[in-house]
A and B are shown apart, each in its own frame.
Chain A
Amino acid sequence: MKVKRLPPTLKKRQRYVVFEVAGEETFKKEEVYKSLASTGIKALGEIGFAGLGFWLTDFDENKQKGILKINHDQKDQAKALLALASTVNGKPARFSSMGVSGTIKKAKKKWW
């Protein structure tokens, strides 16, 4: 029997936050993810962070820019999370959001 896919009306809507990292050196995707996740758990708690639907979709190590996937109603929390993160791998870094979009394609076209 063919399994029915979830109709789009029942799917959770997403937003993609484009951000950039500034630091004394370049950072890897795993390091950035660890930093953001630990800051998120510290600031929002495990349940709050789970509600964010957080995922680091893409990270360009040359440009030091990344795309965060989050639930559409949680973009303020995601931006606050970027403001609260102050270190990556123990070294000082600054995260700043560049914009929010509904699709990866548009996000990359505008801010990548």
Chain B
Amino acid sequence: MIDFHVKADLRDEAKRLGYSDIGVIGADSGLRGALIDAKDERVLRDRAKSAKADYTLYLSHDAKLARSCPADVLCLDFERLVYDTVIGKSADFVEFDLHSVIFSKTGVRAASCFEKALRIARRCKNRIIVSTRPENRYQLRSPRDIECLLAVLGMTEEEASAAVSKNPAELLKKIRGKKKRIAKGVSDSG
């Protein structure tokens, strides 16, 4: 499993728990991610292009921006869910943020939003990835436990397994493919 939404100081602890790799927001080395946001669609697109990171994430809080989201991953916060079929059809990878389900006092509401989001993701055939967005080492969860939690929250066994291992691996493959891409007319000197 790869968690794409972790802080740099939790890398070692995450590997000990069974994560194969970690995507760190705002890191200088390794798998680097950038959380982008803007008030305007054009500015958001520019920020996504100019971000010095391997992949970009956008936290869905504005329906208009989320519909034309240029980021690689669309993050869903279950405390204030902004996600519908129009957004779902324009997105490919969708990150289910379990932080609010596990740690928030309004976990019940978050769990019901999870169900709604799952229904939309199934309909739009979005590839689901999962993160617990840990803020400290006590908020990290092992991939095996996350898989069971997803099954309890309403996913099928195959969906839970894909969200934990297959889809993150596909996203990583996409990121690495993007990194290696050489523009037309430029020869590889190495």
Residues on A facing B (Cβ under 8 Å)? 22-23, 42-43, 75-77, 79-80, 82-84, 86, 92-94, 96-97
Contacts and interface: CB of A to CB of B under 8 A. Distances in A.
Given A83-B145, A86-B102, A97-B145, A77 B152 contact: yes
A83 B17 CA distance: 13
Given A76-B148, A80-B148, A83-B141, 5 more contacts: A22-B138, A75-B148, A86-B138, A94-B141, A97-B144
A84 B136 CA distance: 16
Interface residues of B, number: 19
- The A interface is mostly helix, strand or loop, or mixed, namely helix
Interface of B: 17, 102-103, 107, 136-142, 144-146, 148-149, 151-153
B138 A92 contact: yes
Contacts, number: 52
Contacts of B148: 75-77, 79-80, 83
Q: Secondary structure of the B side of the interface?
A: helix
Contacts of A22: 137-138
